[in-house]
Chain A
Amino acid sequence: MLNIQPFGVCSVDGYPCMPIPVQWLDVLDGGLKVSGFKPLLDCSKCQCAKSGKMEIHMTKADADNHLMAKGIQEGASLAKEVSMWAFVGAIALGTAGIICACTGVGAVATPFLFAAAVECMEVAAVSFELAIAADAAAFVVEPNKENGWVVVADAGILIGGKIIGKGLGILAEDLLATGIGRKIAIAVEDAVIAKPRFKIEGQREGGPGKWTKGYNRRGKGMKYQFDKSGTKSEYRVGTIHMKSGKKNFDDYDPNTKEFIDYKDWNNGYPPKNTRMEESAFRDATKQAKIAKEHNTVTRWEVSNEAGKARLEELIFDGVDKELWPYIKVVVNLK
């Protein structure tokens, strides 16, 4: 099997992802074939025998949004667990500007290279893969058109020249010309170095709550939470302070045992004396009380020092001093 390697945990069986592509659908009809196979289109889909579905997206953002929209938290969380192989593939996808995403119940989602995702074809040429890695590295260091094309060519050879059609080549050229390909490559590189996370529904990770399906929210805040935690799942704890008897946090740190809430707030937010500020006071107070109830800390993570200073001021101003030990603000630059 080529280009589709295990780089996540399958939520169906809990083992490392070993996708079993069944058949590509919605491929180009007609007589045109590449190495005997029908070329893929951007609407092509491929079912995984374990019930996931692979789809093609032109950018990583599209793929992320698609995953979020479908509420596929498993795939989303595992998207960051990209293997070295995916890294190589990611560079190629950065070049080609195409991301394949695998969605669906039990799906393993990974951005991986090309539109390809071609089933079967065992290529055991390890040395050749290393050569690709070298080419890919050259692309990262110097992401110019020439290096990008080398990776495209490598990948094209690697997959037996099955997929890369003329149209795709033009697309890749256009993307490189606009720099989008480079941005995608960098984004995927970030994902590659991300710490592996698990966050499987039902898991407690040694804490007082357990991972559960997140609320079906949308918007910028949800996107930020997703980007930071790598999942749409949330960590749910029981509490006497909420009407529902439970409270969902964006994330949980099993090392520090802290509840995490990601705040997509920049300089000066929330503005003073507004209902947003009042709402933040309420959040801070309640989350600190819930942390106290569980003998831990709620950690608000923001993206810069100005945001941290504003929230620290807010807590100082509006949260009872007895609750200060139970809430803190940190900057998360990841």
Chain B
Amino acid sequence: MKELKIRAHFKHDPLTVKVFTEKAEAYLKLLQRIQPKFADFLILQTGLEKTPIKADYSNFKELFYKGCFDKDWAYTNLDKHGNGTDESTGDFMVWISNRKRQTDDQFLIKFSINNDDLKNNHSTVQIDLPVNEDVFFDWKFCSELLKVTAAFWNAEFASIYTLDFARKVVGKNTSFDIGWINYFPNQDILGLITIKDVDSIVQTNLGQCIVTITESMPDDNNPEYVDKAIKFRDKITPHGLLNWKQE
């Protein structure tokens, strides 16, 4: 099995460390409701430190807050006391996993928050799923996880992919790259493709679309699968569905 990755791209106004910490905690708890394995022994893995997060999250704010800050990066209004009420903004990169050892086959959640601009900063949340956990290699579970993640972060695009597959279908002049399963925040895509182009198109109650290239497990080396994805990419790229929306 290849490592499956989920990545959600979202736009936001400057995100303070306080708000980001609260959102991250809420997101982790949401993941745990979807799949209890996400609750296994969380570790904050940032910089040179790996620190266990208590099961009741009692030390989460303190740890996550510290983990947000890179010693060399620039932050605004930095509160050096670190009491979790900080309004600092800046770039935050935080990793959370349950990998006690490098060889452990577990999940890894990567938050990458950009705060360069006064509004509409582009950020991502990515989950690398365990390779040998069958429970994670299921179309139904994956599409649900994608939908929940994208909705939580109010994503403009999200997808599930393997690295090799993504590199084969990477597009030029696009902000996002399509994957095995793809999330679109609205129904704009419905007028551009038909069910012949992909394996399935699912509309959610809230009007989002989940487009799946193939409902069988992804195979990076299957040319039919890759070709299908590239044709799908080329159909929707001119319509801006793989780029950030212009404000």
A binding-site residues for B, Cβ under 8 Å: 240-245, 271, 273-275, 278-279, 281-282, 285-286, 289, 313, 316-318, 320-322
Q: Are B166 and A316 in contact (CB under 8 A)?
A: yes
Residues of B within 8 Å of A282, CB to CB, are 70, 93
Of all chain B residues, which has the CB nearest A240?
B74
CA distance A275 to B46 in the complex (A): 7
Closest 6 CB pairs of A and B: A243-B74, A278-B95, A274-B102, A273-B108, A241-B74, A242-B74
Residues of A within 8 Å of B71, CB to CB, are 243
CA distance A279 to B175 in the complex (A): 24
Partner of A317, one of B47, B50, B163: B163
- Contact A285/B72 with A273-B108, A322-B122 known, Cβ cut-off 8 Å: no
Q: Are A244 and B102 in contact (CB under 8 A)?
A: no
Of all chain B residues, which has the CB nearest A313?
B163
Of all chain A residues, which has the CB nearest B110?
A318
Residues of A within 8 Å of B46, CB to CB, are 275, 278
Other contacts beyond A273-B128, A278-B46, A285-B112: 15, CB < 8 A: A273-B99, A275-B47, A275-B48, A281-B93, A282-B93, A289-B116, A316-B166, A316-B167, A318-B126, A320-B112, A320-B114, A320-B124, A321-B176, A321-B177, A322-B175
Residues of A within 8 Å of B73, CB to CB, are 241-243, 286
CA distance A274 to B47 in the complex (A): 10
CA distance A295 to B190 in the complex (A): 39
Q: How far is the CB of B174 from chain A (nearest CB, A)?
A: 8
List 22 interface pairs A-B (beta carbons < 8 Å), by A numbering: A241-B74, A242-B72, A242-B73, A243-B73, A243-B74, A243-B75, A273-B97, A273-B128, A275-B45, A275-B48, A281-B112, A282-B93, A285-B112, A289-B116, A316-B166, A317-B163, A318-B112, A318-B126, A320-B114, A320-B124, A321-B174, A322-B175
Q: Are B93 and A278 in contact (CB under 8 A)?
A: yes
Q: Residue among B48, B74, B170, B174 with the most chain A CB within 10 A?
A: B74
CA distance A273 to B95 in the complex (A): 9
Residues of A within 8 Å of B48, CB to CB, are 275
Residues of B within 8 Å of A285, CB to CB, are 91, 93, 112
Q: Are A275 and B75 in contact (CB under 8 A)?
A: no
Q: How far is the CB of B164 from chain A (nearest CB, A)?
A: 9
Partner of B45, one of A278, A313, A321: A278
Q: Are B75 and A271 in contact (CB under 8 A)?
A: no
CA distance A242 to B93 in the complex (A): 15
Of all chain A residues, which has the CB nearest B69?
A243
